[in-house]
Amino acid sequence: MTEQPIHPMQPSAEQFGEWLAEARRQWPGGQPGDIAGIVARLAYAAGADAELEACIRHLDSKGHHPTTLDCLRAARRPKPPSLKQQALKALDAIEGDFNTVGDRAETIRRALELLPDD
């Protein structure tokens, strides 16, 4: 059985364990302070998400249109860039650093641009 938090914004032991495991995965050789920083960021994000959902539930109870609520959620939690967008940005950085990449970089760019934006 999952332990229930004492306060709505207090994580359960299970949730904290998940954050700790994720922090260790992100920083396998990290110092305790590094891991604590990652856990703090994950906890902050979870709290912000919980607050956003509470606000959306409140606005929904007041009769706000679902499209408005979806727009609010999208504005506050934008989707991260797609892998394609990340690759194109990385390629821009490589091209900026090295003038010798030339045709090879252009081939990679053309291939990336043909991929869908999933």
Q: Are the C-beta atoms of residues 43 and 51 closer than 8 Å to each other?
A: no
Mean pLDDT estimate for the chain: 81
The pLDDT of residue 98 is 65
Would you say residue 4 has pLDDT above 70?
A: no
Decide: helix, strand or coil at residue 69: helix
Q: Say how far apart CA 67 and CA 75 lie, in whole Å.
A: 12
Do 71 and 17 share a structural domain? yes
70 and 100 both lie in a single domain: no
Compute the distance between CA of residue 68 and CA of residue 51 in angstroms, rounded to an integer: 17
List, in sequence order, the alpha helices (H) in the chain.
Answer: 13-26, 32-61, 66-76, 83-97, 102-114
**Average pLDDT of span 75-103:** 77
* Residue 5 belongs to some domain of the structure: no
As for how many domains the chain has, the answer is 2
What is residue 99's predicted lDDT score, i.e. its pLDDT? 61
Q: Are residues 26 and 61 in the same domain?
A: yes
Is 47 domain-assigned? yes
**57 within a domain of the structure (yes/no):** yes
- Are residues 20 and 60 both part of a single domain? yes
pTM of whole model > 0.95? no
Do the domain assignments include residue 62?
yes
- The domain in which residue 107 lies consists of 83-114
Tell whether 59 and 94 lie within a shared domain: no
What token pair was written down for 22? 């994720």
Do 61 and 18 have their domain in common? yes
Tokens 């821009």 sit on residue: 92
Section 93-108 average pLDDT: 70
Decide if 6 is inside a domain.
no
In a domain, 95, yes or no: yes
pLDDT in tens, 14-44: 988 898 888 888 887 767 778 888 888 888 8
